């Protein structure tokens, strides 16, 4: 069987994404993305720009938002709250991992 080689793309390596690109890749509607932006979940690179672009990391957030919205049947406000809590967990887990990595093993 022929095995094709595929290059992977680190998400942060993408160029900035327009609102429509972010919608296409994350499968969220542009309206929901705008609501998430109003709620401060995702932020455009330059809020004053005529055409807003988003850092590629927003794709991970938007994809999670899409999953939460579909799987828990949440409204955008609920998604924003869940994302804020998940982000706190992510930060705490990173701190925990850092503490575990730096602490001495006893015994």
Partner 1 sequence: MKYKDYYSALGVERNASEADIKTAYRKLARKYHPDVSKEAGAEEKFKEISEAYKTLKDPEKRKAYDQLGSHRPGEEFRPPPDWGVHFGGGGFSFEDLDLSDLFESLATGRRGGARRGRPTSVAGQDYEVTAHITLEDAFHGSMLDLSLTVPEYDEQGLLQRVPRTFKVRIPKGATEGQRMRVPGRGGKGVNGGRDGDLYLNIALHPHALFRPSGHDLYLELPLAPWEAALGATVQVPTLAGPVALKVPAGTRAGQKLRLTGRGLPTPKEGAGDLFAVAQIVVPTVLSEREQKLFKELADASTFNPRGHFEQETSHAR
Task: Indicate the pairing of strand 53-54 with strand 17-18.
Answer: antiparallel
Residue 76 contacts partner 1 per CB under 8 A:
no
Our finding on whether 72 is near partner 1 (CB under 8 A) is yes
Q: Which stretch binds partner 1 (CB under 8 A): 20-28, 34-42, 43-51?
A: 20-28
Residues 90, 53 contacting (CB under 8 angstroms): no
Give the C-alpha separation, 10 to 68, whole Å. 23
- Nearer of residues 19 and 86 to partner 1, judged by Cβ: 86
Stated as kind and residue range, the H or E segment containing 61 is helix 57-72
Interacting residues toward partner 1 by CB under 8 A: 1, 3-14, 24-25, 27, 59-60, 63-64, 67-68, 71-73, 82, 86, 94, 97-98, 100-102, 104-105
């Amino acid at each position: 069987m022929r095995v094709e080689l595929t290059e992977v793309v680190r998400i942060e390596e993408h160029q900035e994404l327009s609102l429509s690109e972010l919608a296409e890749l994350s499968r969220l509607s542009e309206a929901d993305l705008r609501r998430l932006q109003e709620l401060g979940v995702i932020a455009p690179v330059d809020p004053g720009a005529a055409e807003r672009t988003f850092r590629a990391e927003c794709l991970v957030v938007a994809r999670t938002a899409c999953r939460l919205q579909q799987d828990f049947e949440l409204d955008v406000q609920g998604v924003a709250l869940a994302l804020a809590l998940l982000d706190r967990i992510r930060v705490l887990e990173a701190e925990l991992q850092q503490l575990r990595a730096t602490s001495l093993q006893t015994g």
